[in-house]
Copies of this chain bind each other. A is one copy, B any other.
Amino acid sequence: MNRTLLYFDDLKIGDTFHTATHTLDLVQIKAFAQQFDPQPFHLDEDAARASMFGGIAASGWHTAAITMQLLVTSGPPLANGIVGAGGEIEWKAPTRPGDVLQVHSEVVALTPSRSRPDRGLVVLRSDTSNQRGEILQILTAKLMVARRPG
């Protein structure tokens, strides 16, 4: 696929982007959790069954990290990369072993920077869903996007 780089000036509210997919398995879930979120419901099947998750769930931060990986490698081809100032994140449902994650994004706001004429602020809503179309995470990110030079 030809991925022409996009500048702030190329974006319109309502523009949508759809990434490739990532299949998550138990090995990945446990490896991430051991390093960054060592809680029983991410690491141990029996403990997870007894928890409010009712079974092994990926760390929400793992879902967020995979979302970023999908956005960077197959999401909007922004000229200066995907650079976030922050945003809001909601975890709507647990991410499970075997889930096939995909990210669907939409531009929801565009604000040129007053102080930095070389860039603008883009609000990008990204829904991370599984193979059944269930939305697991909604990330509403504030991205700094370069303006077209010249």
Contacts and interface: CB of A to CB of B under 8 A. Distances in A.
Interface stretch (A10-18, A88-96, A99-107): A88-96
Contacts of A83: 52
A60 B84 contact: yes
A37 B69 contact: yes
Contact of A69 (B36, B68, B80, B91): B36
Number of copies: 2
Contacts of A8: none
A2 interface: no
B91 A88 contact: no
A72 B73 CA distance: 30
- A64, A66, A68: which has the most chain B beta carbons within 10 Å? A68
A108 B72 CA distance: 34
A116 to B, nearest CB: 9
A80 to B, nearest CB: 7
Interface in A18-64: 32, 35-41, 51-52, 59-61, 64
B85 A38 contact: no
Contact of A82 (B32, B39, B69): B39
A72 B33 CA distance: 11
Contact of A91 (B39, B85, B89): B85
A72 B38 contact: yes
A12 to B, nearest CB: 24
